[in-house]
A and B are shown apart, each in its own frame.
Chain A
Amino acid sequence: MGPSSGSVPSASDLDEFIKVVQTFSHDSHDTLFGGRSGHDGGPDGDLAAVPQLFERARSMGLVACPASGPDDGDFGVWGASSTTLGPSFSLRTLATVAESCAGLAAMVHAQGIGRIAVGEASTTAGSVDGSVAAAFVPQVGTVLDDRNMDDMITVSPRRSVSTTDNHHEQDVGADQSPSGDVDKGGFLRGRSPFVWASDRPDHLAVLCRRDREPMVVAVAADADGVSMTLVTGRVGLRALHQYEIVFDDVSLDTGSVLAIGDEAMSLAARISALDWLGVAAIGLGTARAALREATSYASTRIQGGVAIIEHAGVRMLLAQASHDIATLSALIGAVPDRPLTAIDDDVLVKHALSARLGLADHAFRATSNCIQVLGGYGYMDDYGISKRLRDVSALRARHGSREQLFLALTSTSGSFPGALTTDDPGSGAR
């Protein structure tokens, strides 16, 4: 249902598609929350309806797919067209879907990031298809930098041998390695605790290292040695699947390797950047919906004899929320809208970091202010706006603390964010 593949769509084609996405988002909200305030379901709506909504999104072409075909979702979030069109269309789509449910948008986003991880690689992984998830973040959920190289998942030419209390490596010899190619094959070992997926993934794209050399490899999720645990007990985004994945001597061969060395680092940088941009867009959509709901409530709720929107205190909260949303929108909109291949990695990462930090400040504050407008009702699950705060709080914790993100912002090519828009002729172009 997306713009036709194979031709470059016009701006009006894309706008039309976004209108379809808006309808989907509206319908999804109705399905999940009964289409009204004071719904009777759980705090996260009717989660049983989520798979059906995701399938509908897939049939509409919103969901990217690694393999080419009639349902390949080229114009879906981080689909193949994002490579040529640039990131803004995917970001608009995510923000629009997030207006219904941030978790549903995060599912679409996770699949798209998985596609980028396997689809941008110079080496294809052959049969990678279906649901794909990217496991790119080291154990403590931090930004990848030179300080935490030791935390990365490793590739070893040797299989480890379990004993009662530890692991040690046993040299099984190159001839027992799956490929016999010690440069590219080996055994994958480590843990990735915060992997997002639309569903139980079929394949995983994994950032790892062999000695000090970074690699990105693809492994089948059902391969020997891969164990995936669905993580529950999370603050928000509960429509989304989050897995803790342990790789215990997962056998790799040369066909598993998607990128290596500088190419792998470049892919890692782009995956991180697109992930941050995506969650920022989801936060934007969530805050926009919260503002719409708070404004509607304030227009009808009487306090002190008048609708509360007449009270300066309430108007201030709404105005601050509106200003925050505009600011975040500008930060996300500043990312160059050029083909992804034409955007320098550092430029992309800097914009993404700014957008991700903007999410933490602006989307979170805007949503919180909207809760305040509803007073006690805003705190209750029935009105749904407290769910939006939980979702935004999960987004703002995504892959990196504030401090680590700031440090990352200053470390890209040694330049500082002041140079963000002046050194890039594409900045701000829409």
Chain B
Amino acid sequence: MDRTLRHSIARLAPVGRVLYDTSSRSLWDRETASLPWYLRTRRRAYRAFAERSITPLSPRSDEDPGSFHLDPLLAEAGRLGFQSEQLPPPWGTMPLRGLGHPLFHTVLKAEEFTAACGGIGLSLLAHDLGTAPLFLSGDLRATRRFLVPMYRDLRAGRPRLAAFAITEPSAGSDAEDTTGARTAGPGTIATRTVGGYVINGQKVFISGGAKADLVTVFAAIDPGDGSSPRIDRHWSCFVVEAGRDGFRRGRSEKKLGQRASDATELFFDDVFVPIDNRVGAEFSGWALNRNVLNYSRVPVGAIALGIARGALDAALDHARVARLGNRPLLHYQEAQLALADMWMDVAAMRAMVWQAARHMPPNQGIASATKAFCGDNAFDVATRAMEFMADSGTMSVNRTEKAMRDARLNQIYEGTNQINRLAVIEAFAGTDFAAG
């Protein structure tokens, strides 16, 4: 703080001095301090883990995803309780005080992990998405059968992973949009058989699909009356464990960004699953899918927020080190204006994510708006951070080009941002949402 200002503050009356914020605490510390204690401790733990264990792996995992092994990280995150947070104790590690706002710790985790690395962060976070249908279905039997033992293994440091599979080669947005779901033909079909179902079809772009021990697969149950199955009427959810006959993993895509996280093809050739592997009732899949998306889109907004924050951090580091003439770039007014703009966007994203995480149960319109707003702004911030560094920004070692590539995915997955905008209107068109 400027010395003259400090002297001036000292002349204020005691109450005036107390009301003047003279603390030199970081912004991160200030925001953490504004949280309830059980979230404060989690946020600090997430950040410590990310800085210690994710950041060092980030460059290599992007440059050569094939050489990146998730298991050691998964084991460490599992032991720390970060991979079993969707159920409260004694089954999981969700903070008990957070039962009223079960998304809040997840968005804090998402920001911290992806600020360190978008790809590794997604690898760990996609597990929560894979398990979401189990508990959101309200099917206690499926939760007990599949989720509780998985969480037990994770807390013991045994790496386990779940993946969520809805996207098909011919149904990307259709699987996430009411209009599309009415008209698109599902490509993955479950046919009733003695004792269970036989699943045939293919899924694509499945995050974590290459390594998952358990996949929550959405397939249409053949109505059996000769009519064509529909996503919105006939979808149901099934657990397919790795190792089931006929279940096969295809290629993992080569992607622009978030490269540490695989996006893998899954094939189902006459895969038999017992009735106990069905999650929830038959034909409840469309509602279950939509609700999973309502839960996941706010954390996906937080992933975008984390990537944007990482880009801003990199730009700030550059501005402190790079010199223009005899002064650091940070001393120039135009650089300060650009950085302040980026910071304001990141702060607005965080405000929206934290506000959205307070809604319970999550709302389609709010979740979709958060996802789209943060996705678009993260790409914008990352791009500006890269451009801010000029030629240096094109170099991988300076981190912003990776952030730009990583952030671009947030405008596409979990429903394109166009689909998410339509979801906002679908949710709120009949309300007074403009006044909200």
Contact = CB atoms under 8 A, between A and B. Distances in A.
Interface string A134-146: 0001011110000
B204 A376 contact: yes
Interface in B92-144: none
Interface majority SS on B: helix, strand, loop or mixed?
Answer: helix
Nearest to B411: A372
Contacts, number: 152
A402 B396 contact: no
B255 interface: yes
B7 interface: no
A382 B396 CA distance: 21
A390 interface: yes
A193 B337 CA distance: 26
Contacts of A404: 334, 390
Contact of A381 (B255, B338, B390, B413): B255
A380 B255 contact: yes
A397 B254 contact: no
B396 A235 contact: yes
Interface string A400-417: 111110110000000000
A243 B431 CA distance: 59
A302 interface: yes
A403 B383 CA distance: 14
B394 A397 contact: yes
B325 interface: yes
Interface size band for B: 35 or more
Contacts of A401: 335, 338, 387-390
Interface in A347-384: 360, 364, 368, 371-372, 375-376, 378-382
Interface string A152-191: 0000000000000000000000000000000000000000
A147 interface: yes
Interface stretch (B28-36, B172-180, B289-297): B172-180
B85 interface: no
A412 to B, nearest CB: 17
B388 A403 contact: yes
Interface residues of A, number: 53
A314 B417 CA distance: 12
A141 B184 contact: no
A396 B401 CA distance: 12
B324 A147 contact: yes
A252 to B, nearest CB: 25
A341 to B, nearest CB: 29
A402 B388 contact: yes
Nearest to B251: A382
B325 A397 contact: no
B253 interface: yes
A125 interface: no
Contacts of A386: 255-256, 408
A397 B392 CA distance: 8
Contact of B172 (A364, A376, A400, A407): A376
A304 B177 contact: yes
A150 interface: yes
A148 B323 CA distance: 9
Contacts of A142: 324, 390
Nearest to A194: B391
A234 to B, nearest CB: 5
**Which has the most chain A C-beta neighbours within 10 Å: B177, B180, B383, B395?**
B395
Contact of B390 (A141, A302, A390): A141
Given A235-B405, A379-B255, 7 more contacts: A147-B332, A303-B180, A304-B184, A376-B204, A380-B255, A397-B391, A401-B388
